[in-house]
Amino acid sequence: MDKLALLGGDPLIKTAFPAWPQYDEGEQQALQKVLDSRIWWRTPGTQTLQFEQEFARYHDARHGIAVTNGTAALEVALGALGVGPGDEVIVPDFTFVATASAVLSTGALPVLVDVTPDTYCIDPEQVEAAVTERTRVIAAVHMGGHPADLDRLAAIARQHGIYLLEDSAHAHGSEWRGRKVGAIGDIGTFSFQASKLMTAGEGGIVVTNDDQLEKLARSIHDCGRMPGEWFYAHFIYGSNYRLSEWQGAVLRAQLARLDSQGAIRTRNAAYLDSELSRIEGITPQRLDQRCTRKGYYAYIFHYDRACFADLPTARFIQALNAEGVPTQASYPPIHQLDLFQSQAYRARLSPERRGDQHGFLQEEFLNTLRGARETVWLPQPVLLGSEAAMAEIVRAIRKIQVHANALRA
């Protein structure tokens, strides 16, 4: 094979992967319609309202409450669940900071636990061991679009009389046993930030099948108002988390494209799963049989440096990028963030709980560490590439393996 691109050779992939975000006249017309209507905010509008209903229906949920972003969605959901100072929420150590920081925003403690070694989703065994009398919620993250083990987690939640929240920021369109994720647990959240599978630049939604949780979440997202009541009547603590009409209109057009894009990602990911599994040292994220459809926020695989002349993951990624394969960073373990290691998070806790010992700060969480240091993430637009492009990704990885020694020199 040719010389590595990182060492001055020709990049293996010469055509760019599809641009993201994608749009067409659907978004353009929708935006123009909002502009012309002069109704640009949600309260008197129709677009965000319709989007909520369409997205909820698509995700097998009775209710959807559109909000400003995925972090806000978590804050609103936790508020609806009544989480507050003195409470604990069990959160995976391998996730984006928002899953934990939203818990801190309520004054509760995120209790961090490890993930499984193959799906990188929260480990039910660890969840079970972490439940205390203060636990109110299990916050599962559907990592890279792969659902957490919703059977086990729902059973644990039921057994202990606590809630199951699905942080589905990565999982638009994902299914567990033929049912869309989000409202399989008590409440779920999605993000529509720019890198997500559908986007309005920013945005989020809370979904639930529970009428009471819907009522609370809707009120919290709209300054504590209640439907049908006077505009200046405020019944509970809330804030302004409303999504604009622009975003509602764009997201309706984006939702219409999700299934066709999802089919392409699924086909390409299946090809990569089968081809990359043949390369010694590369192990794709495991696909649980109960995951009947995966949203693929990212294509994640484990990289074993021992099979690549001991090249560190970062060097492998450099070589892959040089060959024309884009990647996105994996997450660092949450408990290793400055927010936690500096103890700054304690300022969010109630004074009585602020001085408690938190064992998770000293934990190693080996599966999270492995996920953080040894996985490679291909951003989801890569999976919209052609079949030929998928074959080139496989060739690029093989090329690096063959020449790994040259990179060590």
Rounded Cα distance, 372 and 41, in Å = 40
Catalytic residue among 24, 212, 232, 289: 232
Q: Which of 47, 71, 101, 268 binds ligand PLP (CB under 6 A)?
A: 71
Mask of contacts with ligand PLP, 194-213, x by CB under 6 A? ----------x---------
Nearest alpha carbon to residue 65 among 78, 83, 48: 48
Interaction of residue 99 with ligand PLP, rule CB under 6 A: yes
Rounded Cα distance, 222 and 215, in Å = 11
Q: Which of 126, 135, 191, 283 binds ligand PLP (CB under 6 A)?
A: 191
Interaction of residue 169 with ligand PLP, rule CB under 6 A: yes
Q: Which of 65, 66, 89, 98 binds ligand PLP (CB under 6 A)?
A: 98
Please indicate whether residue 345 is annotated as part of the active site.
no
Q: Tell me which stretch binds ligand PLP (CB under 6 A): 63-71, 118-126, 351-359, 360-368.
A: 63-71
Nearer to ligand PLP, 69 or 244 (CB): 69
Rounded Cα distance, 236 and 79, in Å = 11
Q: Which of 50, 96, 117, 284 binds ligand PLP (CB under 6 A)?
A: 96
Rounded Cα distance, 12 and 15, in Å = 9
Q: What is the DSSP string of 176-238?
A: ETTEESSSSSSEEEEE--TTSSS-SSS-EEEEES-HHHHHHHHHHTBTT--TTS-TT---S--
Rounded Cα distance, 58 and 110, in Å = 30
**Contact status, residue 69 vs residue 191, Cβ threshold 8 Å:** yes
Please indicate whether residue 299 is annotated as part of the active site.
no
Q: Count of residues binding ligand PLP (CB under 6 A)?
A: 14
Catalytic residue among 136, 146, 242, 403: 242
Least distance (Å) between residue 146 CB and ligand PLP: 12
**Contact status, residue 174 vs residue 294, Cβ threshold 8 Å:** yes
Q: Tell me which stretch binds ligand PLP (CB under 6 A): 164-172, 254-262, 265-273, 395-403.
A: 164-172
* Residues making contact with ligand PLP (CB under 6 A): 69-71, 95-96, 98-99, 141, 167, 169-170, 191, 193, 204
